[in-house]
Amino acid sequence: MRGSLLNVKDLRVVFYTYRGVIKALNGVRLWLNEEERLAIVGETGCGKSVTALAIMRLIESPGEIKSGQVEFLGRDLLQLSEEEMEKIRGKHISMIFQEPVAALNPVFKVGFQVAEAIAHSQNISLKEAYDLVPEALTMVGLDWKRTIDLYAHELSGGMAQRVMIAMALAVKPKLLIADEPTSALDVTIQAQILELLDNLVKVGKNAVIFITHDLAVASEFCDKVAVMYAGNVVEVAISDEIFARPMHPYTVGLIDSIPLVGQRKELRGIPGIVPDLVDPPSGCRFHPRCKYVFEKCKVELPELVEASNDHFVACHLYSGGGSTWQP
């Protein structure tokens, strides 16, 4: 359970709201090797984006990182000064978001924004960085002469996402975090963007955390899949393995309901709804929806353990006690 690039341990994040304290992340555990691609999947509200933002230390008020470690190349990012963290963000970890047009700055031209990202990451002047913009835009399949002087609102969603990818990868990050990078785009454009990302990441040898609702896309694009439920990572396995031998009852339900994934409806395979994280269930947060629930599940949060070779699950059925369970 150790990655050579990133080790997230016991990450807890809360949001203080008028309804009460939302316990959004409940001890998240993740690890990633260099050049590896990890997908994070799970229903809406399970904490995928908050995990990504916490790794980048971009959780803003009313949110707060309560505890945990985000060890990146051996250094705990949660202990760095804001200044040191700025360097990590600009050079070593970059992020692309679901809404590319909104993520770009509306008042600056594309060329300037790409140049600024390059200048910041390579410690060169803006003028020098400008010379590298045509190459960066061409790399993502854009006609740079036509794109360089446009503003964000003049770009289509697909073009804007290509610009975001150009900015994110121009800095040659060790780790790229992509939070649902294609879900706001048309289906045909989605496929193009994924193929582009796939090629660029292969060439750039970037490690990737890829956040998606779509388990099928996750397993195709990534080496490993981490399944999240209500603020916890409940299962981690190699992509093929998670389909062939899902262990956690939630993952089994998620796979059963694949045609519905992404449509934000109740899962076919799993009755009940995602719990309210102001007052989450005790013990395993999945226990009220689990048909294999037994006493221990209601009182004790299961730890993520290696249940079989390179296959990790957080479920008491695998630490003994469940009588009706046959994986």
Ligand X SMILES: Nc1ncnc2c1ncn2[C@@H]1O[C@H](COP(=O)(O)OP(=O)(O)OP(=O)(O)O)[C@@H](O)[C@H]1O
- Shortest Cβ 180–Mg ion spacing (Å): 6
201 binds ligand X (CB under 6 A): no
CA dihedral 19, 14, 289, 209 (to 10 degrees): 140
Under rule CB under 6 A, which residues in 223-282 are in contact with ligand X? 277
Q: CB under 8 Å to 75, separation ≥6 — which residues?
A: none
Q: Which does 15 bind (CB under 5 to 8 A by kind): ligand X, Mg ion, none?
A: ligand X
Q: What pairs with residue 182 in β-bridges?
A: none
Cα–Cα distance, 70 to 93 (Å, whole number): 12
How many angstroms separate the CA atoms of 163 and 302, rounded?
42
Strand order from edge to edge, sheet including 20-32: 20-32, 6-17, 63-72, 75-76
The verdict on 48 binding ligand X (CB under 6 A) reads yes
Interface residues for Mg ion in 77-96 (CB under 5 A)? none
* Partner whose footprint covers residue 208, from ligand X, Mg ion, none (CB < 5 to 8 Å by kind): none
Minimum CB distance to ligand X, residue 146 (Å): 33
- For Mg ion, the binding residue among 15, 25, 31, 49 (CB under 5 A) is 49
* C-beta closer to ligand X: residue 184 or 277: 277
Which uninterrupted H or E stretch holds 25? strand 20-32
Cis-peptide, bond into residue 302, ω within 30° of zero? no
Looking at residue 166, the DSSP 8-state letter turns out to be H
Q: Does 31 bind ligand X (CB under 6 A)?
A: no
Residue of the chain from 45, 158, 275, 322 that contacts ligand X (CB under 6 A): 45
Name which of 133, 126, 191 is nearest 161 in CA terms: 191
Among 8, 24, 119, 194, which residue sits at the site for ligand X (rule: CB under 6 A)?
24
With binding defined as CB under 6 A, does residue 44 bind ligand X? yes
Choose, by CB under 6 A, the member of 3, 27, 63, 100 that binds ligand X. 63
Smallest Cα–Cα separation from 155: which of 212, 199, 111, 211?
111
Q: Which of the stretches 45-53, 73-81, 158-166, 311-319 binds ligand X when contact is defined by CB under 6 A?
A: 45-53
Q: Where do contacts with ligand X occur on this chain (CB under 6 A)?
A: 15, 17, 22, 24, 42, 44-50, 62-63, 213, 277
Q: Where do contacts with Mg ion occur on this chain (CB under 5 A)?
A: 48-49
